[in-house]
Chains A and B, each alone.
Chain A
Amino acid sequence: MIARERRVGTETPKFVLVGASLALLFLSLPLVGLLKRVAWSGVFASVTSGPASEALRLSLITSLFATAIALLLGLPLAWVLARIDFHGRSLVRALVMLPMVLPPVVGGVALLGAYGKSHGLIGGLLYDVFGLQLTFSPLGVVIAETFVALPFLVMAVESGLRSIDPRFEESAATMGSGPSERFWKVTLRLLAPSLIAGVAVAWARALGEFGATITFAGNIEGRTQTTPLAVYLLLESDPEAAYALSFVLLAVCVAVLISMRGSWMGRRS
């Protein structure tokens, strides 16, 4: 399985191979365990009925909205970070990346601090003026998912923008294309692989969101109970449905990884 080492000096020591094998085993064992517990004959029935189907439907809708908002807001932000020189850019970038490392529950608490109806910074205003209540509403789910997904999109698109050879856009300019034509016909086209990767990973992150959602939007069946929340609760009452739902999420994530092949991962193999 492992090719004979051809270069002396950088050959692999035995203990590294042992460590690598253990790591691989550690990562794959739970997946095997999950797949083994799935009651294959009942998967379809489990996820198309009752709270499971409600949760899947809600997850699908909210995560798509969250991804769309992340794209609409993230692309301009990535552009600014990649192409405009300004003081404090690294500070802004650190701020943007914060939700990636922040415990999601803390993110949820922070969202309450901003948009909470009674104590939030602007939550009260939103409620009084527009009658808009974000907490414990599907809209709140979208907000929580966008909050955690946005940084992933920004990161992918920013690195994509940086890797574009500026001469493509420069030569488009000398060929008579104005700034907006260049954006649509050249930049966006060259950016497509990174954009797809960014959208895919942001969507996967939004779909799997748990901590910020339950903290900010709560766990109301049919309203704010997304699939990950349903999985957690069903594990007690209906394990078969919980495993079926888990399998669906796993399948989606595998599909996302495959769609990202060649843009983020496996470019050099």
Chain B
Amino acid sequence: MRCGTDIHAWKLDGEALVSVVLKGSVRQGRLILDMDIVAEDEIVAISGVNGIGKTTFLKLLAGLLPLDTGILQVNGIVLDDVDNQIFVPAHLRNVGMVFQDNVLLPFLSAIDNVAYPIMATGIRRQQARQYARDAMGQHGIIHLAEMKPIQLSGGQQQRVALVRALINRPQMVLLDEPLSALDADARREVRAWLTVQLRSLPGTKFVVTHDRVDIAELCDREIAFMQPQTQLTGNETQTTIVR
């Protein structure tokens, strides 16, 4: 759950294992997604062909889409339970999400974008901007602070979006092809930086990606989304059936 004005949520506290349990299904148009996933304090790659429901899966976890059947539990707390009519909407889950191409709010400067989630917890603008400034300094992007998104390159935008997503120390990180819109150089650079950031954060991190290098360098294991016939991939035995 979101921690409200609790500033501790913002500090490093080296929590124990956080786990995600998702057993259920959702239907979106012609797509039916059947899931039975358990994840721990790790970085999980989500792969699979386009249109198979990877983004839908992230939206379920984020609280942007409710399950049709089943249950979602994060860190011991039920976020979605169809039978008991429980649904915690996105703004009450402490998740950090980054979409494929940048969705920084275009009318805010980089620093105000980073300050946005802090202000959403009830912290005043002045102080939120100070926190945002500190975080941007730590991540080496303080020089971008006063720029508008349109003035930033793709790689810079993505970095700001990632810092913004991680600023409240979310208990779950959801990245939807965070590097695919970048050119090769920026991609290598942001990937290395992102690996460090994600490693330093407790909780489960899901990264949707097609890139084998991303999977190898960034992630602990892979869950492959596939058509009906049951398939196993990666070095652990998680099965996701998509039909």
Question: Which residues of A pack against B, CB within 8 Å?
Answer: 165, 167-168, 170-179, 181-182, 186, 189-190
Q: Is B105 an interface residue (CB 8 A)?
A: yes
In the assembled complex, the CB of B108 is this many whole angstroms from the nearest CB of chain A, namely 9
- Number of A-B pairs, beta carbon distance below 8 Å: 58
Q: Is B49 an interface residue (CB 8 A)?
A: no
Q: Total interface residues on B, using CB and 8 Å?
A: 26
Residue of chain B at shortest CB distance from A171: B103
In the assembled complex, the CB of A256 is this many whole angstroms from the nearest CB of chain B, namely 24
Known A170-B90, A171-B103, A189-B107; contact A176-B64, beta-carbon cutoff 8 A: no
Cα–Cα, bound, A167→B99 (Å):
8
In the bound complex, residues from chain A placing their C-beta under 8 Å from that of B59 are 170
Residue of chain B at shortest CB distance from A176: B120
In the bound complex, residues from chain A placing their C-beta under 8 Å from that of B215 are none
CB within 8 Å of A: which B126-179 residues: 164-165, 168, 174
Contact B105 A174 (CB under 8 A): no
Interface CB pairs A-B, < 8 A, 13:
A168-B103, A170-B59, A170-B62, A172-B105, A174-B64, A174-B174, A175-B116, A176-B120, A177-B91, A177-B120, A181-B91, A181-B120, A189-B107
- Of the listed residues A165, A167, A178, A182, the one surrounded by the most CB atoms of chain B closer than 10 A to its CB is A167
In the bound complex, residues from chain A placing their C-beta under 8 Å from that of B174 are 174
Question: Which residues of B pack against A, CB within 8 Å?
Answer: 2, 59, 62-64, 89-91, 93-97, 99, 103, 105-107, 116-117, 120-121, 164-165, 168, 174
Contact B91 A173 (CB under 8 A): yes
Query: In the complex, which of the residues A171, A177, A178, A182 contacts B97, with contact meaning CB atoms closer than 8 Å?
Result: A171
In the assembled complex, the CB of A206 is this many whole angstroms from the nearest CB of chain B, namely 29
In the bound complex, residues from chain B placing their C-beta under 8 Å from that of A176 are 2, 91, 94, 117, 120-121, 168
Cα–Cα, bound, A168→B161 (Å):
12
In the bound complex, residues from chain B placing their C-beta under 8 Å from that of A177 are 91, 116, 120
Cα–Cα, bound, A43→B105 (Å):
47
Residue of chain B at shortest CB distance from A173: B90
Cα–Cα, bound, A165→B100 (Å):
13
Cα–Cα, bound, A116→B63 (Å):
51
In the assembled complex, the CB of B206 is this many whole angstroms from the nearest CB of chain A, namely 13
In the assembled complex, the CB of B5 is this many whole angstroms from the nearest CB of chain A, namely 11
Cα–Cα, bound, A178→B119 (Å):
12
In the assembled complex, the CB of B59 is this many whole angstroms from the nearest CB of chain A, namely 8
Cα–Cα, bound, A70→B211 (Å):
51
A176-B168, A189-B105 given; 4 more Cβ-contact pairs under 8 Å: A165-B103, A174-B93, A174-B96, A175-B117
In the bound complex, residues from chain B placing their C-beta under 8 Å from that of A170 are 59, 62, 64, 90, 99
In the assembled complex, the CB of A194 is this many whole angstroms from the nearest CB of chain B, namely 14
In the assembled complex, the CB of B132 is this many whole angstroms from the nearest CB of chain A, namely 12
Contact A173 B121 (CB under 8 A): no
Cα–Cα, bound, A189→B168 (Å):
24
In the assembled complex, the CB of B77 is this many whole angstroms from the nearest CB of chain A, namely 16
In the assembled complex, the CB of B89 is this many whole angstroms from the nearest CB of chain A, namely 7
